[in-house]
Structure 1
């Protein structure tokens, strides 16, 4: 009889231990459930946010692609006109150099002046690259897949070469100016350049063979630079047409 209180205490302790164990087990299950629900909510939030950002980026990419397409089409038109201009200039300078190599008495003075007018004529190609420059500076190039970005970058790199070649033509022309100014009447070339009737004296003052050789050499340099620039224009045109097709196909811009 004396051991009964001890058994009761022991039984109560065991019962309390079991209840505590069950409670802890239930709490762990509750914690795991709450953690899982929180993880699911966060994951869903990230997914929704990523989907929203992807939608905004895709929509922005299409707007930028449309703007880029308009820039490229302007470039394509300018390049086509530039190629025609430089092909005509190259042909004219070829004929001019043939004239210069002929005896001086056979020169057609008016043809000489017209050829000189063409030698000093340039094509004012100015790339329309505002959209690309904006995307590059703002980081929105990331909206496009890498294949398209690579083509945009290649087009921009070619533009640098094309513009550089144009600058070389202009430099060669300026180097010819001082010599040409001593040989011909620039007032006449000015009239011809603006399609006005010739009212000034047309003279050619080439006094010796050395002067003629130097003049021929400088005209030939302009022609060489024009030929190289023509190659760059053609390469630029091919890239523009390829990029235009790529953008149209990807974003259904027809």
Structure 2
């Protein structure tokens, strides 16, 4: 006859100290895991913020270059307009050669100020702006990017003034002569006529000339306005670059 021995299912009862130690170990493991995850996220956020700020500084530096180029371009065009209005006021035939060239040169290009908001928009869409903890930095960034939104309106206004100028040039300028200037620049890479010619205006009517001068001076005004805005925006950009570099220890 076999005798079966049943295992002893009665374990020794743990005392309070053992339960407390197990609880403490579990608590410490969970707590350390929590802190480790927070530290990991903090490091990740810090690295992400550094990348954002560096990218924003790059955008701002590109903006300052663009502002300076636009200002210089506009100043050169303002000088051209000064000369055009002077020549039209004098109404001397021997000025026509230079007058035609300047009138055509003025409408062969324009400066369009379009600041870069790529990084700022990316931070907005991804929630990256939350990483900026200091309110005065967030305010400075928001102020600059709110300011440059106005360039959309001002640039459209500048294009409108340019189109008005182009649309009235035919009141006094010969289209064939203006086109010949473009062809000579294309073919010879020169800055004017190669022959000793002095083409006539198609009209010397003072009302027509006055209407053309009116459009030129309106365009002159918007170029001056754009330069004022560009100077202000450039100062804002430079100040923001300095702030970001100082606060985030960038080179």
- Does TM, scored on the shorter chain, surpass 0.5? yes
Structure 2 length-normalised TM: 0.76
Aligned to 2:237: 240
Which of 187, 194, 208 pairs up with 2:179? Answer: 187
CA contact (8 A) 1:64 1:131 kept: yes
Query: In structure 2, which of residues 221, 228, 244 is the aligned counterpart of residue 224 of structure 1?
Result: 221
Q: Deviations over 1:9-35 (max 9, x none)?
A: xxxxxxxxxxxxxxxxx98x9999988
Partner of 2:100: 113
Task: State the partner residue of 1:65.
Answer: 53
* Conservation of the 8 A alpha-carbon contact between 2:172 and 2:209: no
How far does residue 119 in structure 1 lie from its aligned partner after superposition? 3.2
In structure 2, C-alpha distance between the alignment counterparts of 1:30 and 1:110, rounded to whole Å: 104
Q: How many residues align?
A: 227
Aligned-partner SS, 1:108: helix
Change (3 A) 1:118 1:168: farther
Deviation at 1:101, TM superposition (A): 2.3
Cα deviation per residue 1:35-67 (whole Å; 9 max; x = unaligned)? 888777666554443332222111111111111
SS of the aligned residue for 2:250 comes to: coil
Q: CA deviation at 1:232?
A: 1.0
Structure ranking higher on relative contact order (CA contacts 8 Å, 6+ apart): 2
More helix by share: 1
Q: Which runs of 5+ in 2 are unaligned?
A: 1-14
Report what 1:250 is aligned to: 247
Q: Do 2:172 and 2:202's aligned partners in 1 also have CA atoms closer than 8 Å?
A: yes
Q: Measured at CA, do residues 188 and 182 of structure 1 come closer, stay the same or move farther in structure 2, by a change above 3 Å?
A: farther
Which consecutive unaligned segments of at least 5 residues does structure 1 have?
A: 1-25
Q: TM-score, normalised by structure 1?
A: 0.75
Q: 1:179 to 1:49 in 2, by over 3 A?
A: same
Report which of the two structures shows the higher radius of gyration computed on alpha carbons: 1
